[in-house]
Structure 1
Amino acid sequence: MSITGSMYTGISGLQAQSQATSVVSNNLANSTTTGYKSSSIHFEDVFYSTVYAGNSANQVGNGVSVASINTDYSQGAYASSNSVTDVAINGDGFYIVVDPDTDNTYYTRAGNFNFDTNGYLVDAHGNRVQGWEMDDNSISGTLTDIQLDNSQSPPQATSEVKLSLNLDSTSTDNSTSTTTPYSALFGTYDGTADPAMDDSRYSYTTTISVYDENGGAHDLTAYFDLVSSDDGDLVWEYVITCDSSEDMRDFQGTDIDTTSAAGALMTGTMTFSSSGDLQSMTAFTLSDTPTNTTDPMAAENWVLADFDTNGLPIFNANFTGADEDQEITLNFGLSNTDSTTGTGWDTTGGIDSMDDLDATTTTDDLPSFNASKLSTSTTTSTTSSSSTYTLSQDGYAPGVLIDVSISENGVLSGSYTNGQTQKLYTFGLADFANLQGLNAEGSNLYSATTESGQALIGTPGSAGFGTLASNVLEQSNVDTATELTNLIIIQAAYQANSKVVTTADTLLQSAISMKR
C-alpha cells in the first residue's frame, strides 16, 4: 500500500470521527429536549486493495465510511407538568399534526400542546393536533383538527325524579274526607288559588328543581298527607305539582294554567308495612282522553299512569309550550317488574281511575304492581320526623366549558358549568413499519417517506398503540453519561487518525527528499 493511500485512510478516519462527533454533539445538545430521540452512528470499512506477498494474495483496507445513523425510538422518561394538555405517549405511536399553512402532515412524540386563540389544539409551532370528533361516546368522521370553539354542553330535559324520604308515621291526617279518603289531599288542590295547596292540608312537603328541553329550571313540589284507615294499614297520599303559571299543558284546546288543575301533575298513594317499608303505591295522571271535558280536576279524568321501560310511573309536564309534553318518571324506590304487559297495574279491586275511589275502598282494593325495590334508599314511614334523604333528577341547564381532561385512551373531555362532562375528541396516533425510514424535520417533527411506509392510524390504547398520560411530558431518551463516554472514545480515535495522517505526511516528505 502506498504512502498516499495511508494518508487517505487516515483522512477517512478523521471524516468518520468528525461525523460521529456531530451525532454525539447533537445528542448532548438535545439531552433536555422534549420527546427527542437520540441517534447513534455506525461505521463500515471501505473497498480493499489486493497485495501479493509470495505466492498468495492479501488485502489491505482503504479506510472507513459511515454505514448508517440510526435513531433510538425507545421510551423517554416522564416529567410532571401543570398543564392538562401536556400529554405523553406510553408505548408506540406518534401524534399527528398538520401545518395549517401548507397542509403538510408531520408526526411527533413531543406532547407539549396548548389551545391557541382560535381554540385549536396546537404544538409549539402552531401545527394542529389531529383527532376524531366524538358523537354519543364514539368516534365519528375522519381525522380533523382538534378545536374547542365556544364549546357548550346542551341542556337535557328531566326524565326522572327520584325522592327518598321518611314520612313521620305519627303525623295527623290533615286532609280528610268521608267519601274519598284516599284522594282527600288531591281534592283540596286548586291551581287558581295562591297558594294552590293550603299549608294546613298536608303533613310534609319537599321541592326539587327540574329542567325543560330548553334548559329552564322549574320547581317541582311534592305534598304528603297521612290517610286515616280503619283496616290497620299505613297509607300516605301524595300530590306532585309545579308552579301553576308555568304549566303549559293543553286540555281540550284550553290552556290548563287557567283551570283549577293548573300545576297538578300526578297524585296517588303509598302503602307501608308495619315496620315502615314501602310495599306498594298507586299513581294517577290526567287522561289524554278525558271523560269530563269541562273540568280537568274531575276524578273520572284521572287514570292510572303508564310505566316507562324501567317500570316507573310517568307523568307529563309542559313548561315551554312545545307540541309534545315532557315525560317525567317518579321514583320513590319502587319499580314495576311487569310494566311491559298491558298497563302493568293489578286492578282486581275494580279501581281504574280516581272516580272509583270511595269510602268503601280498602288498601287491598288499591291498584298495585309487582314491585321491586330499586335501592336501600326507598321512601319509608317510621316514627322519626319527616325528612328528605335525597332528591335527584337527571336534567340540567346548558353549560359553558370550564376545563378539559384527557384520558389514557386519548379521549379529550370537557367539563361544563352545569356539572356535565362531555367527550369531545379522541387523539389520533400513527405508527410505521420502518421507523428508521422517517425523515427528521427538526422542531421535534418527523415526516413519512417511501422507506418508512404509509402511516398506520389508530387510537391510543388500541392494538399496537400506546396509551396517553396527561399532565406529563416525555423527556429526551439521551443517556448523557453514555454520550460523554462516546465523546472520549471518538476524541481518541480522531487523534489516532490524525497521527496516521501526520506520519504518512512525514514518510511522504522523506520520499520526496530522496529524489532531491
Structure 2
Amino acid sequence: MRLESALFSSREGISAHGQAIAVIGDNISNANTVGFRASRVQFGDLVAGGRSTSETSSIPSTGSGVAIQGVRPVQETGVIEATGRSLDVAIEGRGFIIVGDPQNPAYTRAGALSVSKEGILVDSNGEQVLGFASAGGDTLETLDVNKISLSGKATTAATLSGNLASNNPITEVPASPGTFKEIGQKASFVASDLRVFDSLGQSHAVLMAFYKTGGGQWKAQAYVDASETGGEKGIPVKVGGEVSLNFGPDGRLVAGSAAQVSGTINYGNGSAQGSFTIDLSGFSQFAGSSQTSSLTQDGQAAGNILDYEIRKDGAFYARLDTGQSLQVGTLRLADFVNVDGLQRAGNGLFVATEGAGERRLGQPGQSGLGTLAGASLERSTVDIANQFVELVLFQRGYQASSQTLSAASTLLHDTISLIR
C-alpha cells in the first residue's frame, strides 16, 4: 500500500463520516416528529481492485477506505402515546396507513387524521386516507363521511329476546283493553323497552304484552299508544294480531311456532305508514323471572355528527347525537416484503419502489399486521441518548480521518522536498 492510498482512504473516511453525521442530525431534528422512523447508517470497507476471482492469488487486498453502503430506517414501533383526540390513530405493529391517489398511493405511520371541510378523512398533510367504503369492499377509495345517511330510517325489522317465567299463573288475553293499566293487570309479562322509528326518524314506543294461556302456551300482542296514530293519549292500539308461542319440556320454542309479530302503524305525524316485524324466537320458558335480555331494530333516528371513532380493526365510525354510531368505512394497512426498500418522500410519507417488493393489503390485526390504537399517536423512534453516542463516534471518525489526511499530505510534501 502506497502513501497515496492514505490520501484516498482518509478522504473517503471524511466523506462517509460526514454523511453519517448528517443522518444523525436528521434523526435528532425529527425526535418529536409523529411516526418518524430513525435512520441507521451502514458502513462498508473499500478494497482496491474489488473482489478477486483468483483462488491462487497471494497478493494481499489493499484497503481503500470506507463508504456508506446504505441508510436504512429502524423498523420498530415507537412509543404509543394517548392523545384523547378521537381521530388520532397509532399502528401497534407492522403496516402503513395508505394515503393519496388510489392508483399511485403513498404510505405513512403518522396517524394524526382529520375530516376535511369536504367530509373526507385526510392525514396531517391533507392527503386523502384510503380504505374500503364498506365491510365487504375490496377497492381502495377515499372515506367520505357524506356517504352515510343522517336522515331518519324507518324500522322494518326488530328482535326481542328473553325469558318467560314458567311459574306464572294462567291468564286470559283481553279482547279490547281500554287502558294500559288493564293490560298490565292481565298480562303475565310486559316488555316496554322497544322503540321503533318512522320514516322521519321519530321514535315510537311499542309495548309487547305476553299472556300465559296454558302450561307451555303463551300469546303475545304488540300495542302502541293511540296518540302515536293521531288518537287519544293513553288508549292502547293493537299492532298486528296475536302470536302464539309454544314451549316444549326443555323450555325452548317448539318447531313450527310462528314467534313473529307483523304489523303496520299509520303514524299521526305525517310520516309514511310503518310496516315492520318483531321476531320473538329468542324467548325461552324457564323457572325464575320474566325479563328481556336483548332487543334490536334496524331503524335510525335523524341526527347530527358529534364525533368520530377509529377502532382497532380499522373500522371508521361517525358518532351521532342520537347515541348511534354509523360506519363510514374501514381503514386498511399496507405491508411490503422489504419495508427497507420504501423511499422517504417527506412529511412522514413513503413511496413504494421496486426494492420494496410486493405490496400486501390487510385488515389491522390480521395476517401479521398491527392493530390500531385509537386516540393515540406513535412517537418518533429516535433515541436521543443513542444518537448522541453515535454522534461522538462519527465525530471522532471524521476528526481522525482529517488528521490522517493531514499527516499523509505532510509526508508527501516532505518526500517531494527530498527530491528537490
Q: TM-score, normalised by structure 1?
A: 0.63
What is residue 18 of structure 2 aligned with on the other side?
Answer: 18
Q: Per-residue deviation at 1:427? A: 0.9
Distance 1:507-1:92 versus aligned 2 partners, 3 A rule: same
What is residue 75 of structure 2 aligned with on the other side?
Answer: 73
Structure 2 CA distance, aligned partners of 1:159 and 1:328?
6
- Indicate whether 1:326 and 2:275 are aligned: yes
For 2:71, give the aligned amino acid: I
Q: 1:62 aligns with which of 51, 61, 64?
A: 64
What is residue 5 of structure 2 aligned with on the other side?
Answer: 5
What is residue 505 of structure 1 aligned with on the other side?
Answer: 409
For 1:45, give the aligned amino acid: D
What is residue 155 of structure 1 aligned with on the other side?
Answer: 153
Distance 1:507-1:94 versus aligned 2 partners, 3 A rule: same
Distance 1:422-1:507 versus aligned 2 partners, 3 A rule: same
Q: Per-residue deviation at 1:241? A: 3.9
- Indicate whether 1:433 and 2:337 are aligned: yes
Distance 1:67-1:313 versus aligned 2 partners, 3 A rule: closer
What is residue 175 of structure 2 aligned with on the other side?
Answer: 186
Indicate the structure (1 or 2) with the bigger Cα radius of gyration.
1
Residue 139 of structure 1 aligns to a residue whose secondary structure is coil
Structure 2 CA distance, aligned partners of 1:36 and 1:198?
68
Structure 2 CA distance, aligned partners of 1:108 and 1:510?
57
For 1:432, give the aligned amino acid: F
Structure 1 CA distance, aligned partners of 2:137 and 2:3?
70
Q: Per-residue deviation at 1:127? A: 0.6
- Indicate whether 1:218 and 2:218 are aligned: no
Unaligned runs of 5+ in 1: 51-55, 171-180, 190-196, 228-232, 249-256, 272-278, 280-306, 336-371, 380-388
1:21-43 per-position Cα deviation (integer Å, ceiling 9, x unaligned): 11121112222221111212222
Contact 2:199 2:271 in 1 (8 A): no
Contact 1:32 1:476 in 2 (8 A): yes
For 2:30, give the aligned amino acid: N
Structure 1 CA distance, aligned partners of 2:393 and 2:122?
41
Residue 129 of structure 2 aligns to a residue whose secondary structure is strand
Residue 356 of structure 2 aligns to a residue whose secondary structure is coil
Residue 62 of structure 1 aligns to a residue whose secondary structure is strand
Distance 1:483-1:424 versus aligned 2 partners, 3 A rule: same
What is residue 28 of structure 1 aligned with on the other side?
Answer: 28
Q: 1:447 aligns with which of 343, 351, 366?
A: 351
Q: Per-residue deviation at 1:20? A: 1.2
What is residue 357 of structure 1 aligned with on the other side?
Answer: none
1:467-493 per-position Cα deviation (integer Å, ceiling 9, x unaligned): 111121111112222221111111111
For 2:369, give the aligned amino acid: F
What is residue 91 of structure 1 aligned with on the other side?
Answer: 93
Structure 2 CA distance, aligned partners of 1:265 and 1:70?
69
Distance 1:502-1:155 versus aligned 2 partners, 3 A rule: same
Q: Per-residue deviation at 1:404? A: 2.1
Structure 2 CA distance, aligned partners of 1:396 and 1:94?
35
Residue 345 of structure 2 aligns to a residue whose secondary structure is strand
Structure 2 CA distance, aligned partners of 1:145 and 1:473?
22
What is residue 378 of structure 1 aligned with on the other side?
Answer: 290
Contact 1:182 1:237 in 2 (8 A): no
1:95-146 per-position Cα deviation (integer Å, ceiling 9, x unaligned): 110059xx64101111111111112111111111111122xxx332411112
Distance 1:311-1:48 versus aligned 2 partners, 3 A rule: same
Q: 2:224 aligns with which of 222, 239, 242?
A: 242
- Indicate whether 1:469 and 2:373 are aligned: yes
Q: How does 1:128-143 map to 2 (within 5 A)?
A: 128-134=128-134, 138-143=135-140
Structure 2 CA distance, aligned partners of 1:401 and 1:82?
18
Structure 1 CA distance, aligned partners of 2:229 and 2:19?
82
Q: 2:259 aligns with which of 312, 317, 320?
A: 312
Q: 2:314 aligns with which of 384, 390, 410?
A: 410
- Indicate whether 1:265 and 2:257 are aligned: no
What is residue 112 of structure 1 aligned with on the other side?
Answer: 112
Distance 1:490-1:373 versus aligned 2 partners, 3 A rule: same
Structure 2 CA distance, aligned partners of 1:226 and 1:464?
54
Aligned pairs, how many? 391
The CA RMSD measured in Å over matched residues stands at 4.4
Residue 125 of structure 1 aligns to a residue whose secondary structure is coil
1:66-118 per-position Cα deviation (integer Å, ceiling 9, x unaligned): 22222211111111212121111111111110059xx6410111111111111
Contact 2:34 2:380 in 1 (8 A): yes
Structure 1 CA distance, aligned partners of 2:105 and 2:196?
48
What is residue 54 of structure 2 aligned with on the other side?
Answer: none
Over the matched positions of the two proteins, sequence identity in percent amounts to: 27
